[in-house]
Amino acid sequence: MATALAEMYGKQEGCSRGRGGSMHLFDRATNFYGGNAIVGGGLPLSVGLALADHMRGADIVTACFFGEGAVAEGEFHESLNLAALWGLPVLFVCENNLYAMGTALAISESETDIQRKAACYRIASEAVDGMDVVAVEAAARRAVHAVRETGKPYFLECRTYRLRAHSMFDAQLYRDKAEVEAWRHKEPIACFRAWLETNNMIHPEELERIDAEVIAEVDAAVNFAEAGTLEPIEQLTRFTYAEKAT
């Protein structure tokens, strides 16, 4: 978290030396190959990574996360087609929150049942309640197991909802406040917490400990980012062009 936040602060200590911002986070140590500012841009990259693993015979599953807005891009169809055609171990996870920035799904897609699109490429798929932490965890386990067993791609649609604005500049004129409030009672973290308490799976003091640990981790990340250093002006063009071999 610390290096990711430092990246958003534009500091040298960030995972991309402050050059990527919030949309280009990257961490090789955890096999996180980064976000992408291009809608749908991560789809072909995931297929390439899976192809490399497939050619090396590595037992690795590549998980690709994207929103329903990416489904309208050509990369979506090209990536699913090649993944199915070449039998690549990719888990495609569509986080369908019904609005691509400010465009409702029904306005951009004639077929709003996203998981059905995977069937066109003969890819196994399922849809899950993306607001249910337990259901998503179980579906993810099934999906990963299927990819490992078959070596073929799998498509998981998580049907969720964005409770907040897309950005600080989003006036949210495309949806009613009543709609947002209707979804608010399904907020995943609150529902999962209530589920744990109702089923006596966690003690109140343990919840307090978790809350304290989360707050401490966030505070430490903020302090790390604020104390970071800015890239020197003479280094601003670094990584723009290939460096000469010595």
* pLDDT tens over the chain, length 246 residues: 899 999 999 999 998 888 888 888 888 888 888 888 888 999 999 999 999 999 999 999 999 999 999 999 999 999 999 999 999 999 999 999 999 989 999 998 999 999 999 999 999 999 999 999 999 999 999 999 999 999 999 999 999 999 999 988 899 999 999 999 999 999 999 999 999 999 999 999 999 999 999 999 999 999 999 999 998 888 888 888 887 766
Helix (H) or strand (E) holding 14: none
Residue 246 is predicted with a pLDDT of 64
* Whole-angstrom Cα Rg for the chain: 20
Query: What span, in angstroms and rounded, lies between the C-alpha atoms of 192 and 55?
Result: 40
SS3 184: helix
Q: Position of tokens 């961490």?
A: 27
Query: How does strand 99-100 pair with strand 103-104?
Result: antiparallel
Token output for 116: 């059905």
Angle (CA) 191-196-197 rounded to 5° is 95
Using CA atoms of 136, 35, 164, 191 in order, give the dihedral in degrees to the nearest 10: 20
What pTM, to 2 d.p., does this model score? 0.90
- Return the closest-CA partner of residue 53 out of 148, 146, 156, 154: 148
Residue 1 is predicted with a pLDDT of 80
Helix (H) or strand (E) holding 4: helix 2-8
Sketch out the chain's domains with CATH numbers.
1-28+180-228 (no CATH), 36-162 (3.40.50.970)
Contact 10, 36 (CB under 8 A): no
